[in-house]
Amino acid sequence: MKYLTLSIATVLLLSGCQSILNQTESNTPETNAENQALIDVASAAEINQALLMDEAIDVIHPIADGNIDLGNDVQESYLSNDVWQRIRSKLELTIPENSRVASQRAWFIKHPSYLNRVAKRAEPFLFYIVEALEANDIPVEIALLPIVESAFDPFAYSHGRASGMWQFVPGTGKRFGMKQNWWYDGRRDVVASTQGAIKYLKYLHKFFDGDWMLALAAYNSGEGRVQRAVRSNKKKNRPTDFWSLDLPKETRAYVPKLLALADIVKRSDEFKIKLHKIDNSAVISQVDIGSQLDLAKAAQLAQLSLTELQRLNPGFNRWATDPDGPHYLLLPNHKVAPFQEGLAKLAKKDRLAWQRYKIKNGDSLGKIAQKFNTEIALIQQVNNVKGNQIRAGKFLLIPVATASLDSYLLSQDQRLAKTQNKVLAGEKRVHIVKSGDTLWDISRAYKVSTRSIAKWNGMAPRDTIKPGQKLVIWQKASVKKLASNSQRPSEQAIMRNINYRVRKGDSFARIADKFNVSITDIERWNSLNRKKYLQPGQMLKLSVDVTNNI
Which residues are known catalytic residues? 149
Nearest-CA neighbor of 226 among 236, 235, 213?
Answer: 213
Angle between helices 126-135 and 190-207 (to 10 degrees): 40
- Tell me the DSSP string of 370-393: HHTT--HHHHHHHHT--SS---TT
Residues 337, 501: Cα–Cα separation, whole Å: 59
Neighbours of 300 (CB within 10 A): 17
Greatest alpha-carbon pair distance for the chain in Å reads 78
Task: Work out whether strand 395-400 and strand 427-432 pair parallel, antiparallel, or are unpaired.
Answer: unpaired
Residues 506, 485: Cα–Cα separation, whole Å: 40
Residues 502, 263: Cα–Cα separation, whole Å: 35
Neighbours of 492 (CB within 10 A): 20
- State the Cα angle at 342 between 341 and 344, rounded to 5°: 70
Neighbours of 317 (CB within 10 A): 20
- State the Cα angle at 409 between 164 and 159, rounded to 5°: 35
Which class for 384: exposed (0-12), middle (13-18), buried (19 or more C-beta within 10 A)? exposed
- Tell me the DSSP string of 219-259: HHH-HHHHHHHHHHHHHTT---SGGGS---HHHHHHHHHHH
Buried b (16+ CB within 10 A) or exposed e, 207-225: ebeebbbbbbbbbbbbbee
CA distances in angstroms from 362 to 157, 365, 393, listed in the order given: 38, 10, 11
The full length of the chain comes to 550
Which class for 485: exposed (0-12), middle (13-18), buried (19 or more C-beta within 10 A)? exposed
Nearest-CA neighbor of 476 among 492, 488, 490?
Answer: 492
Residues 498, 495: Cα–Cα separation, whole Å: 10
Buried b (16+ CB within 10 A) or exposed e, 430-459: ebebeeebebeebbeebebbbbbbbbbbbb
- Which residues lie below 8 Å from residue 482, measured CB to CB, with a gap of 6+? 488, 489, 491, 492
Nearest-CA neighbor of 61 among 153, 147, 159?
Answer: 153
- State the Cα angle at 168 between 165 and 170, rounded to 5°: 135
